[in-house]
Amino acid sequence: MMKTISIGLLGLGTVGTGVVTIIEDHQEKLMHQVGCPVVIKKILVQNLEKLRSVDVEQSMLTTCSNDILDDPEIDIIIEVMGGVGVTKDYLLKALRQGKHVVTANKDLMALHGSELLRVAAENGCDLFYEASVAGGIPILRGLVDGLASDRITKMMGIVNGTTNYILTKMSQEGRAYEDVLKEAQDLGFAESDPTADVEGLDAARKMTILATLGFSMNIDLADVSASGISNITEADLRYGKQLGYTMKLIGYAHREGEKVEVSVQPTFLSDNHPLASVQNEYNAVYVYGEAVGETMFYGPGAGSLPTATSVVSDLVGVMKNLRLEVNGRSAVTPQYFKNLKEDNEKYAKYFIRLHVQDEVGVFADITTVFAKYGISFEKILQLPVKKNEVAEIVLVTHRASLTNYQHIMQQLRDMNAVKEIKSSYRVERNSI
């Protein structure tokens, strides 16, 4: 039997507490999986005196990272402290000292994953990061292992629980964005500064990781165009419902031939799309492979125990590799050079809501603008507005290139008859 495997835990917040709980409560299962005892030897914390929801011996706690990183008896580092700069330095030091790493840090992996994986391979170490995307859903493992023989062409999903909770409540209860955001903060679903979530940055980081793995191509965060949900109104959602759509913040990654596009944006989904029924703080990722067809990964996207489950599953993977003496061999360098689509190669349908002068001929003028670029309408709503002789028009286009869509939007802004473009969103059809 192997010696006891010793773990250094960086962070004892929500996820760290869950990791301690699972390792302590599941010792028998872990022993069965890897054939030796598993112990947490040392835990890095900011405050030694803080009251915590899990009982740990005071001697296990330290505020000095070197007590963990320089300890030759510690085999594996689990990082759940968050942050980028200092955390990256800790993990690089750990890898260079031959320690394997498990992390739940999406920000770090999106920004510096390539460097960390390279250093891990150079030092014969494992670096696993399943928990960095969609919490308790094994989406990364599904892409790397379960769909390894397939060619992934499209991934789209709800990868941020905060925004999904907000949009669910707005849509189902007709409430304003600010009201639901405050509730999400009170419940702990949203941070006191929710910017990263509601403006799409958190989802963009996750889509960077998914696209890199799914397409075997080094996608950078800067390659992901991102927009958030803070400007969505109850009126947008109401009109969407009338037309048979549900609003979600969708991460979208698509490969055609050798070119890819990756984005995060509010999207109207057809009500019968599988992602339309994903409610509240839950996450789901829809994947299309040339061989397997359509698959969907669904589950809790955050939380102490769901995320900790993914962390400990990665830990088991590292420990199995230790037993087989194959650590550091699982990382596969990207197969393809990055090749991004141009705007004229990106196609979608669009929902556009306009306030226009309520006069004869205005709609014909608007139609002429779309016809100039060969774009027709799939759905149309026209409603009077009880002030200033203004009419409201809601259009859903057929597929248009992003280039043509941008030209059309500019020409609408320039038209005297168009008083205001109230909103515009991507629209996704029934299936992927």
**What are the backbone dihedrals phi and psi of residue 92, each rounded to the nearest 5 degrees, phi first?**
-60, -40
What are the residue ranges of helices labelled H in 243-375?
304-324, 362-372
Burial of 287 (0-12, 13-18, 19+ CB in 10 A): buried
Q: Is 206 a catalytic residue?
A: yes
- Among 42, 206, 248, 419, the one annotated catalytic: 206
Q: Which of 419, 417, 367 is nearest to 397 (CA)?
A: 367
Instruction: Provide Rg for the chain, Cα atoms.
Output: 24
SS3 113: helix
The answer to whether the CB of 76 falls within 8 A of the CB of 94 is: no
In whole angstroms, give the CA distance from residue 186 to residue 356. 40
Q: Which of 19, 6, 125, 11 is nearest to 75 (CA)?
A: 6
Q: Could you tell me which residues come within 8 angstroms of residue 7 by beta carbon, excluding any fewer than 6 positions away?
A: 23, 38, 39, 40, 41, 74, 75, 76, 77, 78, 315
What are the residue ranges of helices labelled H in 303-429?
304-324, 362-372, 402-414
Concatenated DSSP letters of 207-235? HHHHHHHHHTB---GGGSEE--STT--HH
- Quick count: other Cβ atoms within 10 Å of Cβ 343? 13
| Plot region of 162 (φ>0 → left; ψ -120 to 50 → alpha; else → beta) | alpha
Q: Which residues are catalytic?
A: 206
